[in-house]
Amino acid sequence: GENVEQHPSTLSVQEGDSAVIKCTYSDSASNYFPWYKQELGKRPQLIIDIRSNVGEKKDQRIAVTLNKTAKHFSLHITETQPEDSAVYFCAATFTGGFKTIFGAGTRLFVKA
Amino acid sequence: GAGVSQSPRYKVTKRGQDVALRCDPISGHVSLYWYRQALGQGPEFLTYFNYEAQQDKSGLPNDRFSAERPEGSISTLTIQRTEQRDSAMYRCASSLAPRPIGTSGRGYEQYFGPGTRLTVT
């Protein structure tokens, strides 16, 4: 069935280090992969997204890579800061772009 | 401009009662999604609208759940005969376009509302 798996569930890094979160998806027809950041008590907010015809996309300190063959995509945050601490969700679209399935989330702690 | 709004923000109801949750999307957004989010978990897809048409309702847990968007703008998610297991945060999201546009996917990104926290006692 439609599924997105996300790892790790918790990640703790020192300020200035890099953080990597990985996701896999089940439907090879998926073509859009957004990443959301959710701070405590707030709504999820889009931080970066990638289409299936692109292998990598970067926006300042964050980047996303996609391996269509392996059905893997990853979020990379460099030079982490305490304000990066939040829960991050990956997602993938299924069935023609209508249905979005989210991963279970990664709680990122950045220690000052 | 105004973002996605939802009402009520909090709803406490007794088991067996019906509830109606409202979502007001960003003006001009074609697509509207409903999700349920348990504490510490990712949003769980419930249903999706493109204009007023309900394109996918495969995520609705059972026939006590229904949703409508009669004029292609405001949407209502209704839960009949609520049960304690229905307690959760219900979020809606809207997007400008029904599909990713071009290589960037611009216009397809979903903007989430603040959610309605439903508690069934």
Cα distances (Å, whole numbers) of residue B99 to A93, B3, B20:
10, 20, 28
In which region does residue A43 sit, left (phi positive, over 0), alpha (psi from -120 to 50) or beta (all else)?
Answer: beta
Q: Which of A100, A101, A107, A108 would you mutate first to test chain B, the one with the most B CBs within 10 A?
A: A100
Q: Which residues of A touch B (CB under 8 A)?
A: 6, 31-32, 34, 36, 43-46, 49-51, 53-54, 87, 89, 91, 93, 95-105
Asked whether residue B1 carries a pLDDT value surpassing 80, the answer given is no
- A74: CB partners within 8 A, 6+ apart: A20, A21, A22, A23, A64, A65
Could you give the 3-state DSSP secondary structure of residue A93? Answer: strand
Could you give the 3-state DSSP secondary structure of residue A95? Answer: helix
Q: Which pLDDT tens digits describe chain A residue by residue (112 residues)?
A: 789 999 999 999 999 999 999 999 998 888 889 999 999 999 999 999 988 888 899 999 999 999 999 999 999 999 999 999 999 999 998 766 678 999 999 999 999 9
Burial of A82 (0-12, 13-18, 19+ CB in 10 A): exposed
Mark yes or no for CB contact A46/B110 under 8 Å. yes
Does B105 touch chain A if contact means CB atoms closer than 8 Å? yes
| Six-digit token string for A85 | 């601490």
| Six-digit token string for A65 | 């890579």
Q: Strand pairing partners for A46? A: A36
Instruction: Find the residue in B nearest to A37 (Cα).
Output: B42
**Cα distance between residue A52 and residue A97, in whole Å:** 12
**Cα distance between residue B47 and residue A106, in whole Å:** 24
In which region does residue A105 sit, left (phi positive, over 0), alpha (psi from -120 to 50) or beta (all else)?
Answer: left
- A42: CB partners within 8 A, 6+ apart: none
Phi/psi at A16 (5° precision): 95, -20
pLDDT at A87: 97
Could you give the 3-state DSSP secondary structure of residue A75? Answer: strand
Nearest chain A Cα distance for residue B99, angstroms? 6
Q: Report the percent of chain B where pLDDT is more than 70.
A: 94
* Residue range B69-118, pLDDT digits in tens: 999 999 999 999 999 999 999 999 999 987 766 666 677 889 999 999 99
Peptide bond into B70 cis (omega under 30): no
Question: Please, what is the average pLDDT of chain B?
Answer: 93
CA neighbours closer than 13 Å in the CB half-sphere of residue A61: 12
Burial of B2 (0-12, 13-18, 19+ CB in 10 A): exposed
Q: Which of B30, B36, B37, B96 would you mutate first to test chain A, the one with the most A CBs within 10 A?
A: B37
Peptide bond into B61 cis (omega under 30): no
